[in-house]
Amino acid sequence: MTGQSGEMIEIKELLKRNPRGMSITEISSALHLHRNTAAKYLETLKLRGDVDRKEIGTARNYFLVQRIPVSSLLAYWPAPLIICDIRLNTVMVTEGILSLLGCSLDVMYGVPIDEIPISLFKDPQIREICQSAVHGETQTQTFRVTIRKKEMLLRIQGIPVVFDTGRDGAALAFFDETEHQSTMKELDLLKQQYTALQTGQTEYIAHLDTTHRITYINAPFADRTGRSSRQAVGTPFTSLFPAQISQEIEDLFGEITIASESATAELMMIRNDGTIGREQWILQAIFDEQGGIAAYHATGRDITELARCREQLEQYHRNVETLIEDRTASLQEANRMLMATIREKEELERELLFIQFAFDHASDSILLINEEGRIIRANETASILLGYTVEELQTLHVSEINPSITRSGWREMWAGGYPGKRIRTRSIHRMRNGRILNVDVSRTFVRFLDQLYFCSIARPLEEQDD
């Protein structure tokens, strides 16, 4: 683009790279313009609301600002608004502000912002917010006021605007947070009550989601599991018990319905010292408004000693040899279950190692990318192909590897993604040394643990451009 508009675009690009502002002399020198020509363009841009001017000593510095056209703001902004001109006189209001403040239009229209006959506007911070917005700066303040004998909490945000005439102005957006604050106070009170209720609690408490994974455990249960509360989050509830009774626990969850909201059972567990223990658990379902299960509240207690007492009573009339045999069998069973659990974990570890080996030694480059476009996993083939280490790849954005994907293009690609969607195409990859590779790419969206990821499998084409 050439001519006057082209020069103004160059000035805006220059100010974008220098957010602290530049003088007319600095701008004319950087763009090789006559000083008067640069001043004329800057004055035009100021009238359009694209730049602002500040006096810094004897110099006038110009900087790029972002102002919203008043017509666009009124059309799309949902919050109640007051629009002021450069002199801070009220020139427009929305219907929502009249309802919020309980006044008529004639009380506000044409009146300076700090002379509106409502106590809220006597606060000097209102004028400060408005003045800052006129000068292109956004401020937000929260005010506790009484309107129509009702105590309210209002958050007021100043928004820089520009009128259709090119004049600067300010908009005050009002957000009523009274109900939100009341709700948060009630929530804090409930949290305090729940915390107080747990104080001194010796029973185990666990919160579970609909997939029976832990979202919270109290201190006694954390001690029992040998994990911190944070480490336990996301752990399957069944994994805290011997593998042999996993199905028994799942069946227990299956017994819970809207008609039968809880289930109780005595469950076997293995203590840290290898001995068998017994726990009594009550699983309570929490239902949503539609009657579906939203979560579970589980409480348990160690009844090992109680179970032992029962056993002793049953064994009281038996001879010593039978008692010894039973104890030996019990210990052997505990050891057997412990060994089975250990073997199961070892098998899982071997499977994971094999999967990692296959992933790293795949013949194609594999990149796993999250929604933000960040590479979170890469195999060794990708590392060798692109010239980065695996760790370096995990710090890059997808656009740094595939320059044909812009950040806006990535967002569009992601918006159309769903689990299982596959795309095969030809694209390019940029190596660390800057060389561009033509590649055959298979792109797949996959979901893991409620998270959607983008899997890119690339194979260099045999014919490459030099």
**Averaged pLDDT, 237-251:** 87
- 3-64 and 68-180, same CATH topology: no
Please check the confidence at residue 1 and state whether its pLDDT lies above 50.
no
Reply yes or no on domain 361-460 having CATH 3.40.50.720.
Answer: no
Q: Are 387 and 432 in contact (CB under 8 A)?
A: yes
pLDDT value at position 12? Answer: 81
* Residue 238 CB partners (closer than 8 Å, separation 6+): 212, 246, 249, 250
| Average confidence (pLDDT) over 74-83 | 88
What is the SS3 assignment for 452? strand
375 burial type by CB count under 10 A (0-12 exposed, 13-18 middle, 19+ buried): buried
Q: Which helix (H) or strand (E) holds 429?
A: strand 422-430
Which residues face 437 on adjacent strands? 429
**Chain-wide mean pLDDT for the chain?**
84
Question: Are the C-beta atoms of residues 311 and 322 closer than 8 Å to each other?
Answer: no
Burial tier of 145 (Cβ tally within 10 Å: 0-12, 13-18, 19+): middle
- Using alpha carbons, list the distances in angstroms from residue 345 to 243, 248, 349, 351: 11, 20, 6, 10
Q: Is 250 helix (H, G, I), strand (E, B) or coil?
A: helix
pLDDT band at 3 (very low <50, low <70, confident <90, very high): very low
The answer to whether residues 366 and 455 touch, using CB atoms and an 8 Å cutoff, is yes
Q: End-to-end CA distance of the chain: give it in Å, rounded.
A: 33
Q: Provide the pairing of β-strand 293-302 with 59-64.
A: unpaired
Give Cα 190 distance to the centre of its chain: 25
Strands (E), 246-394: 262-270, 276-287, 293-302, 365-369, 375-378
- Report the residue count for the chain: 466
pLDDT tens-digit profile of 185-235?
888 877 776 666 666 677 888 888 989 998 888 888 888 888 888 888 888
- Whether residue 129 is predicted with pLDDT greater than 90 in this model: the reply is yes
Domain 68-180 in CATH 3.30.450.20: yes
Backbone angles phi, psi at 22, to 5 degrees: -140, 150
8 A C-beta contact, residue 15 and residue 42? no
For residues 74 and 89, the answer to whether their CB atoms sit within 8 Å is: no
Per DSSP bridges, beta strands 68-69 and 150-162 are parallel
| Cβ neighbours, 10 Å, residue 89 | 15
Cβ(62)–Cβ(21) below 8 Å: yes
Q: Would you list the domain boundaries of the chain?
A: 3-64, 68-180, 204-317, 361-460
Q: What is the pLDDT of residues 332-370, one digit of tens each?
A: 888 888 888 888 888 888 887 877 787 777 888 888 888
Cβ atoms of 439 and 450 within 8 Å: the answer is no
Angle CA 122–126–127, to nearest 5: 90
Q: Examine the pLDDT at 452 and tell me if it is beyond 70.
A: yes
Instruction: Give the model's confidence band at 49: pLDDT under 50 very low, under 70 low, under 90 confident, else very high.
Output: low
- Is the model's pLDDT at 266 over the cut of 80? yes
Q: Under CATH, what is the fold of the domain 204-317? A: Beta-Lactamase (3.30.450)
Q: In whole angstroms, what is the distance from residue 294 CA to residue 209 CA?
A: 7
Q: Quote the CA–CA distance of 389 and 13 in Å, as a whole number.
A: 36
> How is domain 3-64 classified at the architecture level of CATH?
Orthogonal Bundle (1.10)
CB 365 within 8 A of CB 386: yes
| Mean of pLDDT values over 8-30 | 82
User: What are the backbone angles phi and psi of residue 272, rounded to the nearest 5°?
Assistant: -65, -25
pLDDT at residue 196, as a whole number: 63
Residue 463: pLDDT band (50, 70, 90) is low
d(CA 116, CA 112): 7
Cβ-proximal residues to 15 (8 Å cutoff; 6+ apart), any chain: 21, 22, 27, 51, 62, 63, 64
